[in-house]
Each structure stands twice: as structure tokens, then as C-alpha cells.
Structure 1
Amino acid sequence: MRIAVAAAAAALLGVLATAAPAEAHTTLTSSDPAKGASVTAPARIRLTYADPVRFPGVVLLDAKGGHHEAGKASAVDNHVTQQIGGALAPGVYTVGWRVVAEDGHPVTGEYKFTVTGGGSPSAAPAGPTSSAPASPAAEPVRHTSSAGWWWIGLVVVILAAIAGVVALLRRRTPNGRA
């Protein structure tokens, strides 16, 4: 019985020691064009996060669901750039994004902006050296859960319980035989 209690205590300690920290995922700190902005047709979308990110994905959708991305999004440190394919017609556009934070958790969000007037997009430089102003994007970040850590902890507890039962059964029978 003491072995089973010791195994359960060890399992609980293991779960607590490996618990994930408070969800410290990155956040979107600014965007160009900004959330809710009315702008002339941009040549690119630029997103800035609080921390470095990787594996970026950005979509630009018009009101009918048509895509307007050119190529893949690129990430350099905490900046993500997505080139826009062709001139955008006046209207409301939705930027949807997904990145992986330094802690390994995917973070997603979206916001809207409006293109006013006509004309073609200006040739804006890509990447973090752009001098275009980045405006705050007040879109709340949707986080994934850290449920994976709970599953790992549950497996540890179950394995410890099985080990405790086996040890208890061996102790009660002579020479470990049933």
C-alpha cells in the first residue's frame, strides 16, 4: 500500500513539475494596413508580433471570399509580410493570419480593413526594413489550449498507478508468483 501511495505522489509531483507555464503566447501588436483602416490599395500586408514567430500563414479575402495573396508569407523575427496579388478593388477585405509562437503554440486571428478609391498598389518594400507606419491592431488573439500537457500528466498518473498495483500484488504473493 505504501508503494502505491508513493507512486501516486511521485506521479502527482511529475505532473506539477511539467505543467505548462501560463499561456505566454505572442500577440499581434500592429498591422499595416491597420484594423478598421480605410486605405488606398496596398501592395502587401505587414504584421508585427510581440515575439519572434515562425511558420506564418496569411490570407487576404475580399467580401465574396476571393483570395488576393501573391506567394507565401515570410517571417523575419517578429514581422510577417504577405505580398498582395494585383490591385485591390474598393471594398472591405479580411486579413486572416496564423503563426507559431516561440513556445510552439499556434496563434490565429483576423481583422478587416477597407480599400477606398481606385488605382494600383504602390511598390512597397517587403520585410521588416519597411518604413511604412504600423498601426495598432486591437484584435484579440485566440489561443490554443495546453491540453497536451494534461494528457501527458494523465498518462504518467496511469502508469504510476499500474506500477503501484503490480508492486502491491508482487508483495502479497510469495516470490512474486500468483
Structure 2
Amino acid sequence: MRLAAAAAVAAALTGVLVTAVPAEAHTTLTSSDPAKGATVTSPAQIRLTFADPVRFTGVVVTDARGGHHESGKSQAVDNHVTEAVAGPLAAGAYTVGWRVVAPDGHPVTGEFGFTVKGGGGTASSAPASSSAPAAPASQPSAGSTKQGSSAGWWWIGLAILVVALAGGGLALVRRRS
């Protein structure tokens, strides 16, 4: 009888834990200046706007050859992040990669491209500051946007917890029998 009760409790607990939905409070990029895929004259700064206030920000501006063009550390005020651009940009395709920490504590990353039209500066690259995040591994086309988060790790942790609880319940039942 005790075994059946313990099994029922374990099954109910497992059902609750497996069907629980994690809170998705990760922020998203709502707009940028320059906008993703835009063709613009050389901007003096990159401005990102998020759905929620963010902290611990990092922004990189890279050209098609991987050269960095950010100047100093990015600045965050509420849900706006700005990054100064190091000098005028030469005509060509550029990628903005960013990483912020959302209000729920999870890091959120993304990237988008824009194009600088004629006139700009020289093609030389400014060295990246040591506090900036690494450049994106791939260079997307000017119109693409990528965003990511660590929500998948939550599910892995939940699965480990369920297995541990089930194993502990079985051990307790066997000890009492």
C-alpha cells in the first residue's frame, strides 16, 4: 500500500514538474539606429532599444573583413544602449553584434547588418576594446537578425531534477519496505 502511494506521489510530482512552463522574461531588441538592413551614411554611434531595461552590455561593430569599429564601452540607460563608432566608416557592409543581460538575469545576444553608402572613411580597422564581447562567428547578410538565450538550459536542469527526485522517492520507498 505504501509503495502504491509513494508511486502515485512521485508520478504526480513528475507530471507537475514536466509540464511547468518557465517564465520567459528575456528581453528583445525592438529597434536600432541604424535599422537592420538599412543603407545609411556613416553613423557616429549605434543605438539599440530593448523591450526592457538591460545591464552588462557589450556591442561590437565589425566590417566584412572582421575589423572592429567600436569606440570605448557601450552605455546603457534603462532600455537604450549606445556604442560610439570609431571614426567615419568606409562604404561597405557592417555587422552589429550585441550581448545584454535581461531583467530575469539571462544573457541575450543578437546581431544584425547594415550598409554604409559612399563617402565614409578609410577601410582601416580600429582594435577592439578588451571589454567588448567577441565578434560574431559568422557574418550575416545585411538584412538578417539573430537572437538567442539560455532557455534550453532551464529544461535540462528541470529534467535532472525530476530524475533525482524520482530516484530519491524510489530509494525512500525501498528503505521503508
TM-score by length of 2: 0.73
Task: Give the equivalent residue in structure 2 for 1:118.
Answer: 119
Counterpart check, 1:169 vs 2:174: yes
Counterpart check, 1:159 vs 2:164: yes
Q: Quote the offset at 1:71 in angstroms.
A: 1.0
Task: Give the equivalent residue in structure 2 for 1:5.
Answer: 8
Partner secondary structure for residue 98 of structure 2 = strand
Distance in 1 of aligned mates of 2:99 and 2:120: 29
Partner secondary structure for residue 160 of structure 1 = helix
Distance in 2 of aligned mates of 1:160 and 1:28: 38
| 8 A contact 1:15–1:156 mirrored in 2 | no
Give 4+ residue runs of structure 1 displaced > 6 Å after superposition: none
Distance in 2 of aligned mates of 1:110 and 1:66: 16
**Residues matched between the structures, number:** 154
Counterpart check, 1:57 vs 2:62: no
Distance in 1 of aligned mates of 2:110 and 2:93: 17
| 8 A contact 1:53–1:101 mirrored in 2 | yes
Q: Quote the offset at 1:73 in angstroms.
A: 1.1
Cα distance change, pair 74–14 in 1 and its aligned pair in 2 (3 A): same
Partner secondary structure for residue 57 of structure 2 = strand
Counterpart check, 1:28 vs 2:29: yes
Cα distance change, pair 161–27 in 1 and its aligned pair in 2 (3 A): closer
Partner secondary structure for residue 161 of structure 1 = helix
| 8 A contact 1:44–1:82 mirrored in 2 | yes
| 8 A contact 2:45–2:84 mirrored in 1 | yes
Cα distance change, pair 161–44 in 1 and its aligned pair in 2 (3 A): same
RMSD: 2.5
The aligned runs of 1:76-87 (5 Å cut-off) are: 76-87=77-88
Amino-acid identity (%): 58
Partner secondary structure for residue 80 of structure 1 = strand
Structure with more contact order per residue of length (Cα contacts < 8 Å, sep ≥ 6): 1
TM-score by length of 1: 0.72
Q: Quote the offset at 1:145 in angstroms.
A: 4.5
Q: Quote the offset at 1:82 in angstroms.
A: 0.5
Q: Quote the offset at 1:157 in angstroms.
A: 2.0
Q: Quote the offset at 1:60 in angstroms.
A: 0.7
Task: Give the equivalent residue in structure 1 for 2:90.
Answer: 89
| Greater CA drift, 56-65 or 162-171 | 162-171
Distance in 2 of aligned mates of 1:79 and 1:145: 22
Q: Mark the runs of 5 or more structure 2 residues left unpaired by the alignment.
A: 122-142
